[in-house]
């Protein structure tokens, strides 16, 4: 049995992953941005061990979430599933940060840096990451004209960059990215053609399986199979630039392995 935290598990892929984990006999902690959604998450997955609350749009509340998670004891795996899409204008968080980058990239960075390192880390990406731009000079979209689709693609590329950076810096931790496919979540829409259960299944498999194909690090997966990632994700210079930017924006240094 593994102890697993699934961020963004009030609905969508996160909820399905949590339910699959519970069905497999694992100790599962859910996560939602507020108490009402945490109650909804527990009602949907009643055999979960608990639900942690933290708004990932806030640096302070994400730090508090990391503290709450650590207070429960060390996790065997953390699935960074939470994220936002791209169908909207540029919005700044209360910290003055562009919200897609803040939620999709800075939040998993903070949780990774502040939580006791687990044995396994899983980061949710998207096939759209292949259209992402690895340039870190304007992460907040202050000099460029806003393009929500590009901002999302960039954030999903940076999730793979983060996964691969952790794999390189922490050789004792299995760190991978998952591309779930175009699935029928709120983001993907009801007409999405990919299998929703399979998108969650790969997260669960990487978080808990002893299958030799799952006990690897620094890979990107689609439906339990390795898939190619944007070549920038494997570039140590790109990884270091992203980590440096996240450290500067949050004031939290990335721990040495």
**DSSP class per residue in 113-144:** HHSPP-SEEEEE--GGGGG-----TTTT-SSS
For residue 190, what pLDDT is reported? 52
Mean pLDDT of 153-173: 98
For residue 192, pLDDT over 50 is answered with no
Question: What's the pLDDT at 28?
Answer: 98
* pLDDT of amino acid 86: 86
DSSP code, position 104: I
- pLDDT for residue 189 is more than 70: no
Interatomic CA distance for residues 122 and 134, integer angstroms: 20
Active site residues: 152, 156
Q: What is the pLDDT of residue 188?
A: 43
List pLDDT tens digits, range 10-62: 989 999 999 999 999 999 999 999 999 999 999 999 999 999 999 999 999 99
What is the token pair recorded at 233? Answer: 């994700």
Beta-sheet strand order (sheet of 120-124)? 50-53, 27-32, 3-6, 77-80, 120-124, 174-178, 220-222, 225-226
3-state DSSP helix/strand/coil % of the chain, to nearest 5: 45, 15, 45
Can you tell me whether residue 36 is helix, strand or coil?
A: helix
Model pTM above 0.85? yes
Domain 3-250 CATH assignment equals 3.40.50.720: yes
Q: Do 29 and 6 contact (CB within 8 A), yes or no?
A: yes
Can you tell me the distance from the alpha carbon of 204 to that of 18, in angstroms, rounded to the nearest whole number? Answer: 8
Looking at per-residue confidence, does 58 or 191 come out higher? Answer: 58
Is 165 in contact with 239 (CB distance < 8 Å)?
yes
Which region, left, alpha or beta, applies to residue 53 given φ > 0 means left and ψ of -120 to 50 means alpha? beta
Residue at token pair 């998450």: 41
Q: Give the C-alpha separation, 108 to 171, whole Å.
A: 18
The model's pLDDT over 226-243, given as tens digits with 9 standing for 90+, comes to: 999 999 999 999 999 999
């Amino acid at each position: 049995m593994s102890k697993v935290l699934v961020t963004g598990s009030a609905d969508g892929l996160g909820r399905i992953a949590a339910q699959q984990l519970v069905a497999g006999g694992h100790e599962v902690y859910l996560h939602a941005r507020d108490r009402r959604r945490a109650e909804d998450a527990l009602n949907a997955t009643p055999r979960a061990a608990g639900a942690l609350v933290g708004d990932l749009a806030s640096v302070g509340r994400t730090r508090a979430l990391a503290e709450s998670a650590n207070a429960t004891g060390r996790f065997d795996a953390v699935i960074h599933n939470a994220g936002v899409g791209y169908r909207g204008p540029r919005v700044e968080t209360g910290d003055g940060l562009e919200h897609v980058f803040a939620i999709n990239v800075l939040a998993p960075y903070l949780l990774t840096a502040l939580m006791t390192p687990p044995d396994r880390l899983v980061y949710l990406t998207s096939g759209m990451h292949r259209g992402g731009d690895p340039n870190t000079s304007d992460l907040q979209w202050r000099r460029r004209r806003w393009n929500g689709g590009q901002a999302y693609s960039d954030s999903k590329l940076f999730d793979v960059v983060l996964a691969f950076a952790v794999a390189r810096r922490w050789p004792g931790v299995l760190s991978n990215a998952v591309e779930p496919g175009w699935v029928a979540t709120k983001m993907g829409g009801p007409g999405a053609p990919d299998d929703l259960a399979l998108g969650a299944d790969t997260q669960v498999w990487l978080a808990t399986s002893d299958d030799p194909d799952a006990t690897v690090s620094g890979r990107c997966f689609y439906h339990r199979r390795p898939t190619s990632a944007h070549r920038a994700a494997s570039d140590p210079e790109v990884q270091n630039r992203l980590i440096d930017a996240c450290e500067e924006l949050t004031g939290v240094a990335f721990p040495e392995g």
